[in-house]
Amino acid sequence: MGEEIEPRIIEGALSLPYRWATGPVGAKFLEGLKNKKILGTRCPKCRRVLVPARKFCPRCFVDTDEWVEVGDKGILRTFTIINFSFVGQVRKPPYIVGIIELDGADVGFTHFIGGVDLTDIEKAARELRPGMRVQAVWREERKGDILDIEYFKPVRE
Amino acid sequence: MRKVAIVGVGQTRCGRRDDVSFPELVHEAVKEALEDARLDIKDIEAFITGSMPAPMSGINAPHLYWADAVGAYRKPIIRVATCGTTGGSIAHTGYYHVASGLFDVVMVVGAEKMYEGDPQGVMTTIWDYRYERPFLAGAPGVFAMQAMEYIHRYNFTLEEVAEAAALLSVKHHLAALDNPYAHIKQEITVEDVLRSRIVAYPIRLLDICPISDGACAVILASEDKARKITDTPVWIKGLGYCGDEQLLADKDLVWWLSAVKAAQKAYKMAGIENPVKQIDVAEVYNPFTYQELTFYECFGFCSRGEAVKLVKQGFFNKDGQLPTDPSGGVLCTNPIGATGLQRIAEAALQVMGRAGKRQIPAVETAFAHAMGGSYSLNSVFILSRSK
């Protein structure tokens, strides 16, 4: 097809705004955070307390029918220390993410883990272990958002 | 339900493919598959296509963008997008098309151009925007938590699991040198893996798959057609597919329900009671070394908590009891929308006896897996020389 030329790269971007509905159960859960409460809902069939609060149980496929306040302390089930960057990242790496089993809940709760010096990642990791107790650190100014909890910190009890 | 066979496969060279546009990349795999099956585009009755969620490539409804490239002019074309599982999901869909009797010859096409966007940013947006998205960092961030939970569940030390993970990385990197389509071609040592940069603790750079551009196409046919097309049809003897809950923190990350169930269903259909004895080679979807250990357990290749020991014994090596990923697997090549289909194509080539330098001797039955969703979906295929 004639003269060969180098393929080019064309740069572009997509930026699409959204407005997302929380639903009434989501709204009540988020309002709870504003008041330093972590709210779950109980499944009438399997009796599990689901956090964040759900309208329905994913396993039993029935609507939940009871609000339950769970603790803001719990057990660290697992964690990782994030040490890479990507578009849309909320925090600057390195930072710790964990799954916490809150007191009174029957499922895990994903959040940041903090209060640990991250200068040396491997050293920081040795200060954490699955099974240890952690507690929510609440922001002074809360607006009804999952980030009203700044992070969960390891605690000795 | 009718029998369905794989009658042709096509793969592109994978890596950074700035030399071609996305449709051109797809076109390469489609032409390869047609040549492999000695078919003409007019012989294909329908197309099942798939890739990651559209923001990966920055073009919505990518199958419309690919339509000319796959040859879908005046023919049905469907898009299935289930994240990492996509390659397995489109193969399932293709199987249903033929098994149902509605179509005799269909083409399944999976592709990705990961260098064109921000893959970890895109993957993070699959999570619930209210509750989990701020915390879950791409694929490494999620599967690193699985790794930590695995270590804790079976009371391992990090060191003993890290060593098994590193051995897997070394094995797959060595295997990829024999795969002409593979992306990462680099001989590495256990020490290289253990000294590589921490990306998401405890996962290091050499424990993780690359991002790749690449495409794969597979042609499926009914029994009558398959016998006319090829002397070496590869029969889909069993298949299974299963999902899980949506939120990450709801799930058991280690004894992964959807992986267990998908394998059980495929085994039952294919009459497999002892996977290690009855499967000659397995193409496991293995983007992360630590995760691969959990899959071996979920698929019944060994008992729970036993994978670490068996990896160190060479059980899954090329000359071991159950060779895994002689292609180098996902760990060395990962154009996500194609990756699950590459497992099926590679397993089919093993059954046909046409896998070149990566061929495992006398393969009668092969296992092909895909994993994805929001840490929620698993697909398993059992391919065989006999019906």
Of the listed ranges B122-126, B232-236, B325-329, the one predicted with least confidence: B122-126
Q: For A84, which of B135, B200, B247 is closest by C-beta distance?
A: B200
What is the end-to-end Cα distance of chain B in Å, rounded?
Answer: 13
Task: Enumerate chain B positions whose Cβ falls within 8 A of a Cβ in A.
Answer: 18-21, 55, 58, 118-121, 124-125, 129-132, 134-138, 140-141, 144-149, 152, 197-203, 245-250, 253
Q: Which of B14, B12, B15, B53 is nearest to B30 (CA)?
A: B12
This prediction's pTM: 0.97
Which amino acid makes up residue B202?
A: P
- Residue A77: list chain B partners with CB under 8 A: 149, 249
B81 pLDDT higher than 70: yes
Chain B contact for A52 (CB, 8 A cutoff): yes
Contacts of A9 in chain B (CB under 8 A): 18
Residue B92 has φ and ψ, to the nearest 5°, of: -60, -50
Structure tokens belonging to residue A70: 């769970």
Average pLDDT over residues B328-345: 98
Q: What local confidence, expressed as pLDDT, does residue B103 receive?
A: 98
Domain of residue B56: give its range: 4-118+212-229
Let me know if residue B15 belongs to a domain: yes
The answer to whether residue A1 scores a pLDDT higher than 90 is no
- Residues 6 or more apart whose Cβ sits within 8 Å of residue A98: A76, A77, A78, A79, A80, A110, A111, A112, A113, A128, A134, A152, B145
Q: What is the pLDDT of residues A46-87, one digit of tens each?
A: 999 999 999 999 999 999 999 999 999 999 999 999 999 999
**Whether pLDDT at A89 is above 90:** yes
In a mutagenesis test of the A interface, which of B20, B211, B247 is the best target, namely the one with the most A β-carbons within 10 Å? B247
- Distance of residue B51 Cα from the nearest chain A Cα, in angstroms: 18
Average pLDDT over residues B351-376: 97
Task: Name the pLDDT band for B341 (thresholds 50, 70, 90).
Answer: very high
The pLDDT confidence band at residue B275, using thresholds 50, 70 and 90, is: very high
* Pairing of β B77-79 and β B46-50: parallel
Mapping DSSP to helix (H, G, I), strand (E, B) and coil, where does residue B73 land?
coil
- Mean pLDDT value of segment B93-100: 98
**B69 in a structural domain:** yes
Domain contains B58: yes
Q: Is 90 exceeded by the pLDDT of residue A4?
A: no
Token pair 């065989």 in the structure block, residue: B384
CB contact under 8 A, B121 and A87: yes
* Residue B356 Cα, gap to closest chain A Cα (Å): 32
Whole-angstrom distance, CA of residue A12 vs CA of residue B166: 38
**Domain CATH number, residue B90:** 3.40.47.10
Q: How far apart are CA A99 and CA A130, in angstroms?
A: 9
Chain A residues in contact with B198 by the CB 8 A cut-off are: 81, 83, 121-122
Residue of chain B whose Cα is closest to the Cα of A79: B145
Whether the CB of A77 is below 8 Å from some CB of chain B: the reply is yes
Q: What is the pLDDT of residues A5-51, one digit of tens each?
A: 899 999 999 889 999 999 999 999 999 999 999 999 999 999 999 99
Amino acid letter for position B163: E
Average pLDDT over residues B265-290: 98
Which of B118, B134, B146 shows the shortest C-beta gap to A86? B118
DSSP B34: H
A88 and B CB contact within 8 Å:
yes
Task: Please tell me the predicted confidence (pLDDT) of residue B306.
Answer: 98
Distance (Å, whole) CA B78 – CA B46:
8
Integer Cα distance of B109 and B324 in angstroms: 24
Q: Is residue B80 part of a domain?
A: yes
Residue A2 confidence class, pLDDT cut points 50, 70, 90 = confident
10 Å Cβ neighbour count for A129?
A: 13
Mean per-residue pLDDT of chain B: 97
Of B18, B147, B152, the CB nearest to A7: B18
3-state secondary structure of B292: helix
A and B: number of Cβ contacts within 8 A: 119
Residues of A whose CB is below 8 A from B144:
80
Residue ranges of the alpha helices (H) in chain A? Answer: 23-34, 121-127
| Count of domains observed in chain B | 1
Kindly indicate the confidence band of residue A157, based on its pLDDT and cuts at 50, 70 and 90: confident
B71 domain residue, yes or no:
yes
State residue B110's pLDDT score.
Answer: 98
Query: Which ipTM was obtained for this model?
Result: 0.96
In a domain, B38, yes or no: yes
Q: CA B351 to CA B135: how far, in whole Å?
A: 43
Q: Residue B148: inside a domain, yes or no? A: no
Answer yes or no: is pLDDT of A156 > 90: no
Q: Does B236 map to a domain? A: no
Q: Is the pLDDT of residue B1 over 70?
A: yes
pLDDT tens by residue, B35-69: 999 999 999 999 999 999 999 999 999 999 999 99
pLDDT of residue B263: 98
